[in-house]
A and B are shown apart, each in its own frame.
Chain A
């Protein structure tokens, strides 16, 4: 009966591994604890089914292993048992689906007070843009992108002038304030993903996608690209620094706006032009 024993050990080993594993969630740092809870619920229900099915299988191996003088039972169907199992499974599936859909509903409905952050991706890097005092981001176009307009903001859009440009792969966020991440890409698919925030979404060239979360733990986090984007994919990292309101505002005030950036480039051009003229 060694086969049954080994299968039994596999089941017991799986349970022990789950209990004693040093590898589990990275500590959560956002509002999406509900996702973790749903996973835990699915784990208990699903894990329970897995263990039950496997133990039943092992039991059958012990109890009904081949004997020449015995016959198996002959019973092609058992309508009642099949009905019970169908309904029990349906019920279990509904119990798992319901919380999943409730949380998805929260995920796709962004709170009104969320701060919009434009996350712009390319092969292979990130940069960020925040709305200025008007609270609105200016519209953009890939064709507008240039040295003096790194985000491709439409120059005629009045909302764009005061947008805050962060030409760095690290962005700061205010603790306990919901953020709506607006994703776009200028070349291929990317995905702005911080494991601690649990949430993610692809950046798709040609369109703007979004998701939201509320960071709730001050600290520094690593951003990973979670959608394969070519040979530099694994190296496409960035960062997030979650700060308290006061620190965040200090940081924000040090950033350059689109207007300031344009002015800086104009001055540069004038200087360059002067140099050229002298030559």
Chain B
């Protein structure tokens, strides 16, 4: 026992230096935190350039590698969206584009953005960088597997990109890859293109499983002393729950990819019924196309939350830090994340109301889908109640968070339209759906990513991004993206179907020409505006102002590393000891408006802090 107290004391001496020497009287009883259960792990330190920057085992470098690779795919996805919008808004300028091209662009844009960009960025990028830092670990628990995870992802991206250059081009089956058309003539890339897509997805799942096990086990087993589950930042909760979902959902994608590969290569009939094509009956029979849809959406719906939950977590932390106020209803927020994660496995067939599955399923899935709206709404209330009576810094980071709230609420509410089975009937397969999911899982998570980049850049690079450029970047992106997707819902009301290469001259479609042109112009501008960030980053790295330690005055552990940017091993000689949750902002009686997680109760004895 006495040893433990000694440890605490010596650590507190260390931490109070960081805090400008505000050490209060030390009360050993109040400062007691459970001793560490496992001894410190030894880290493998890099010996060469290659080990340090390429085949690297440091989660922070792996995080940056994931981030940059995902951003590369994101830029490819962005260019594809420009080409699509050129065709939809100004077909006369897109004479080089055939229907085959268009459908290939649609497919690759969708798959890239959902899987290779958003998923990889949130879990591979932010997850790797932030988990060890935020839970007070020196690294992930399996650094070598973590390195393999990134390189598996890298190979998956290369295979995916290779499909642009094979005969027939990449698959144009739509990102949902619904059979039978996916592997039949009549769909672009139904030869090599689809095979490469299925191989790439399989590699992604394998790589992701390696990373995911790491995230889960690091969070469960490698938290520092005092970091109880209910003291973890919501970012970690979001990433943790998303990873559990991914571990359960991705196998469904993997088996459907394997079965479809067999259908394609060996003419098995998992998903293929008797088919008449060009006057001939093909060598298939007895399979079920709807089975694939169930498997796909059993993965696909949790996938939405695999992207959304880390965004929920991160935005909660950003709002709390920059509103200088504790996150409102932390426990509710944690249970909402876990609850949404659990429920997300019972709603998949709301993507299939008009798929031809037994229509009685509609009652069940509409009910479960609308139940999920309740915890989701609670999260929204808690975000705005965190702003309420806060002391809000309206800086670039906060602007992205506010943009997230607007777009997420907008997209969440259109989700209630689509989840409510009979309301879905007229709207499904129209532009209303396109507008809904772009708003809720495209733009909203993107807002969080951008906010997170501006927030954590000083930690990663040690320099402050330009606020002026950041605000221009935000306003152009937010106003532009909102004016792309808000009017697009009304195309869906008219009944304009999605995935149409050309609208022809249907009377209710010709009325939309003006809107399509407007949306396309907005899309070009928003896409181009993203290069403001690239410029900002390059400029800052070259000439930017050096960041002080903890520039935002945050409480969570990643800002209390021994160096900025944190070195391999993160925390110097001793791991930090945690005494509180990360949301003690503006505590009455405290000297500053924040109390770091490492501050012992005795150091702030005369405050009105609540025990967490």
Q: Does A170 contact B (CB under 8 A)?
A: no
Query: Contact partner of A93 among B371, B500, B502, CB < 8 A?
Result: B371
Q: Which residues of A contact B420 (CB under 8 A)?
A: 38, 42, 96-97, 100
Interface centre among A53, A64, A105 (most CB of B within 10 A): A53
Task: Provide the B389-417 mask, 1 if CB < 8 A to any CB of A, else 0.
Answer: 11111100001001001100110011011
Q: Is the CB of A64 within 8 A of B373?
A: no
Q: Is the CB of A57 within 8 A of B425?
A: no
Q: Is the CB of A60 within 8 A of B388?
A: yes
Q: Does A103 contact B (CB under 8 A)?
A: yes
Q: Is the CB of B416 within 8 A of A57?
A: no
Residues 315-365 of B at the A interface (beta carbon under 8 Å): 323-326, 328-332, 354-356, 359-360, 362-363
Q: Is the CB of B394 within 8 A of A142?
A: no
Q: Is the CB of B273 within 8 A of A17?
A: no
Q: Is the CB of A186 within 8 A of B184?
A: no
Q: Is the CB of B389 within 8 A of A73?
A: yes
Q: Is the CB of B180 within 8 A of A53?
A: no
Q: Does A224 contact B (CB under 8 A)?
A: yes
Q: Which residues of B contact A24 (CB under 8 A)?
A: 490, 493-494
Identify the stretch in B156-164, B299-307, B374-382 within 8 Å (CB) of chain A at 4 or more residues: B374-382
Q: Which residues of A contact B377 (CB under 8 A)?
A: 49, 85, 89
Identify the stretch in A204-212, A241-249, A254-262, A266-274 within 8 Å (CB) of chain B at 4 or more residues: A204-212
Q: Does B103 contact A (CB under 8 A)?
A: yes
Residues 1-49 of A at the B interface (beta carbon under 8 Å): 3-4, 6-7, 10, 14, 17, 21-26, 32, 34-36, 38-39, 42, 46-47, 49
Q: Does A139 contact B (CB under 8 A)?
A: no
Report the bound CA distance from A225 to B181 in whole Å: 14
Query: Contact partner of A64 among B374, B392, B405, B585, CB < 8 A?
Result: B392
Q: Does A61 contact B (CB under 8 A)?
A: yes
Interface centre among B172, B394, B583 (most CB of A within 10 A): B394
Q: Is the CB of B328 within 8 A of A104?
A: no
Q: Does A112 contact B (CB under 8 A)?
A: no
Q: Which residues of B contact A199 (CB under 8 A)?
A: 425-426
Q: Is the CB of A47 within 8 A of B413?
A: yes
Q: Is the CB of B394 within 8 A of A66?
A: yes
Q: Which residues of B contact A193 (CB under 8 A)?
A: 429, 495, 497
Q: Is the CB of B399 within 8 A of A39?
A: no
Q: Which residues of A contact B172 (CB under 8 A)?
A: 231
A142 in contact with B274 given A35-B425, A82-B378 (CB within 8 Å) = yes
Q: Is the CB of A64 within 8 A of B391?
A: yes
Q: Is the CB of B276 within 8 A of A23?
A: no
Residues 47-99 of A at the B interface (beta carbon under 8 Å): 47, 49-50, 53-54, 56-57, 60-61, 64-67, 70-78, 81-82, 85-86, 89-90, 93, 96-97
Q: Is the CB of A123 within 8 A of B186?
A: yes
Query: Contact partner of A101 among B287, B354, B421, CB < 8 A?
Result: B421
Report the bound CA distance from A3 to B429 in whole Å: 36
Q: Is the CB of B429 within 8 A of A56?
A: no
Q: Is the CB of B276 within 8 A of A101?
A: no
Query: Contact partner of B405 among A32, A53, A234, CB < 8 A?
Result: A53
Report the bound CA distance from A64 to B582 in whole Å: 22
Q: Does B491 contact A (CB under 8 A)?
A: yes
Q: Which residues of A contact B181 (CB under 8 A)?
A: 123, 187-189, 228-230
Residue of A nearest to B403 (CB): A7
Report the bound CA distance from A208 to B515 in whole Å: 38
Q: Is the CB of B374 within 8 A of A90?
A: yes
Report the bound CA distance from A10 to B474 in whole Å: 14
Q: Is the CB of A21 within 8 A of B188?
A: no
Q: Which residues of B contact A122 (CB under 8 A)?
A: 276
Q: Does B459 contact A (CB under 8 A)?
A: no
Q: Does B499 contact A (CB under 8 A)?
A: yes
A58 vs chain B, min Cβ distance (A)? 9
Report the bound CA distance from A257 to B76 in whole Å: 54
Q: Is the CB of A38 within 8 A of B486?
A: no
Task: Provide the A193-204 mask, 1 if CB < 8 A to any CB of B, else 0.
Answer: 101101111111
Residue of B nearest to A42 (CB): B417
Q: Is the CB of A228 within 8 A of B178?
A: yes
Q: Does A175 contact B (CB under 8 A)?
A: no
A258 vs chain B, min Cβ distance (A)? 18
Q: Is the CB of A96 within 8 A of B506?
A: no
Q: Is the CB of B497 within 8 A of A82?
A: no
Report the bound CA distance from A14 to B406 in whole Å: 11
Report the bound CA distance from A209 to B120 in whole Å: 38
Q: Which residues of B contact A209 (CB under 8 A)?
A: 356
Report the bound CA distance from A158 to B187 in whole Å: 38
Q: Does B22 contact A (CB under 8 A)?
A: no
Q: Which residues of B contact A66 (CB under 8 A)?
A: 324, 391-394
Q: Does B608 contact A (CB under 8 A)?
A: yes
A186 in contact with B275 given A7-B406, A35-B422 (CB within 8 Å) = yes
Q: Does A157 contact B (CB under 8 A)?
A: no
Q: Is the CB of B423 within 8 A of A35?
A: yes
Residue of B nearest to A25 (CB): B493
A82 in contact with B332 given A7-B406, A53-B405, A230-B184 (CB within 8 Å) = yes
B486 vs chain A, min Cβ distance (A)? 6
Q: Does A108 contact B (CB under 8 A)?
A: yes
Q: Is the CB of A231 within 8 A of B394?
A: no
Q: Does A107 contact B (CB under 8 A)?
A: yes
Q: Does A233 contact B (CB under 8 A)?
A: yes
Q: Does B512 contact A (CB under 8 A)?
A: yes
Report the bound CA distance from A34 to B425 in whole Å: 12
Identify the stretch in B28-36, B231-239, B586-594 within 8 Å (CB) of chain A at 4 or more residues: B586-594
A159 vs chain B, min Cβ distance (A)? 22
Q: Is the CB of A57 within 8 A of B384?
A: yes
B307 vs chain A, min Cβ distance (A)? 21
Residue of B nearest to A124 (CB): B186
Query: Contact partner of B363 among A53, A60, A72, A101, CB < 8 A?
Result: A101
Q: Is the CB of B390 within 8 A of A56?
A: no
Q: Is the CB of A56 within 8 A of B416?
A: no
Q: Is the CB of A53 within 8 A of B384?
A: yes
Q: Is the CB of A228 within 8 A of B355?
A: no
Q: Which residues of A contact B586 (CB under 8 A)?
A: 71-74
A88 vs chain B, min Cβ distance (A)? 9
Query: Contact partner of A49 among B289, B326, B378, B409, CB < 8 A?
Result: B409
Report the bound CA distance from A76 to B405 in whole Å: 21
Report the bound CA distance from A209 to B386 in whole Å: 49
Return 22 A-B CB contacts under 8 Å, by A number.
A3-B399, A10-B482, A23-B512, A35-B423, A39-B417, A39-B427, A72-B586, A73-B325, A76-B326, A76-B610, A97-B420, A101-B366, A107-B425, A123-B277, A183-B356, A188-B181, A188-B184, A195-B494, A205-B275, A207-B273, A225-B497, A231-B187
The 5 lowest CB-CB distance pairs between A and B, nearest first, are A206-B273, A195-B495, A209-B356, A100-B420, A72-B325
Chain B residues engaging chain A, CB cutoff 8 angstroms: 99-100, 103, 172-174, 178-181, 184, 186-188, 273-277, 281, 286-290, 323-326, 328-332, 354-356, 359-360, 362-363, 366-367, 370-371, 373-374, 377-378, 380-381, 384-385, 387-394, 399, 402, 405-406, 409-410, 413-414, 416-417, 420-423, 425-430, 475, 479, 482, 486-487, 490-491, 493-495, 497, 499-504, 506, 508, 511-512, 515, 583, 585-588, 593, 608, 610, 612
Q: A24-B493, A38-B420 known; 15 other A-B pairs, CB under 8 Å?
A: A26-B495, A50-B413, A60-B387, A60-B388, A60-B390, A66-B324, A72-B389, A82-B332, A90-B374, A142-B274, A187-B276, A206-B287, A228-B103, A228-B499, A231-B100
Chain A residues engaging chain B, CB cutoff 8 angstroms: 3-4, 6-7, 10, 14, 17, 21-26, 32, 34-36, 38-39, 42, 46-47, 49-50, 53-54, 56-57, 60-61, 64-67, 70-78, 81-82, 85-86, 89-90, 93, 96-97, 100-101, 103-105, 107-108, 122-123, 142-143, 145, 183, 186-189, 191, 193, 195-196, 198-207, 209, 211, 222, 224-235, 237
